[in-house]
Structure 1
Amino acid sequence: MQVEETPLKDCYLLKPKIFRDERGIFLETYQRRQLAEISGIDAEFVQDNQSVSKYGVVRGLHYQTGEFAQTKIVRAIYGRVLDVVVDLRPDSPTFKQTYSVILDDENLYQLYVPKGFGHGFSTLSEKSVFAYKCDDYYRPGSEAGIIYNDPELAIDWQLPENDIILSEKDRNLPTLKQAFG
């Protein structure tokens, strides 16, 4: 596995070693010891989540607050997504900065998203299956988010505005300024 730094502090792009032959492919998607040896990252993951989305769906930007903040490793199992993170840690040198990367079933990249980051993605293919590995359990009372089209963040979701599909919850999220002042 290769671990590459992103422009955001403590956020890493994980590139697994892929074995290909005439039968298909094999890859190790996670190995705690190897990740710790390569990067110093040693999180204990306790919950895996999966979502299925159709073209145009934007999920996010979501995060868990306080003591229930989650570190995640995210990946696209099927399809193609634009994965987006924003550093929401006020003491971080990259506070309020964003990073986006294509995750798909061809490159098989994963993104390590540390606690204190907002996370979201847009589905660019007809369908996507997206997986989240989390180091803490989901707690509804600590969930929060930032509206996907926040003007301060100016995220290009790589979708025409008319094609974007949002949940009612995501449509009503606050701006960065409303959430962080």
Structure 2
Amino acid sequence: MPRPRQGAAYRRGAVHRRGHRRQVGTALAVKLAGARPDAQEPRPRRGHPRIVRIAESGPQLDKNPPALDPYHWDVSLGLIDPVRISARFGTTDLAVWTGHTMPKQKECADLVSMQGQFMAPVTVGTVVCVKTQGGRTAVLTITSVTDDFSTGLTAQATVWSKQSG
């Protein structure tokens, strides 16, 4: 087991002998951990998609990793005959990609801003660009489809960091 640092914080009792931090205040704990309190968690990189389930409650794609959220989802299962996914109520934040290659972040963002819609039919292999609630761009590739609201469908999701500007 590694030895704790023997600095001033150790002498003040901020670190136990086993190397565990005591709750002595956020600033000291953050300093000991070497992290910035305002640092954002890293986003998945392009090429490392995550599998998400899209059902009656869909995923919130801004979470890392994306997770089902019954109140703050970005896309959900809209209708089941034919199977369609929908954006958040009152938005046009998704668009079906019809290109022959996977879209890049800017291509997806441009497609959603110019041809965004509320609902789109999907089958296995459909590629959908999405604008998240947090302003990020995501691309979903549908990997399985069912006609059950509780099971829903699955997709590979890649979420890009926000574009600056």
TM-score (norm 1): 0.29
Bigger RCO of structures 1 and 2 (CA < 8 A, at least 6 apart): 1
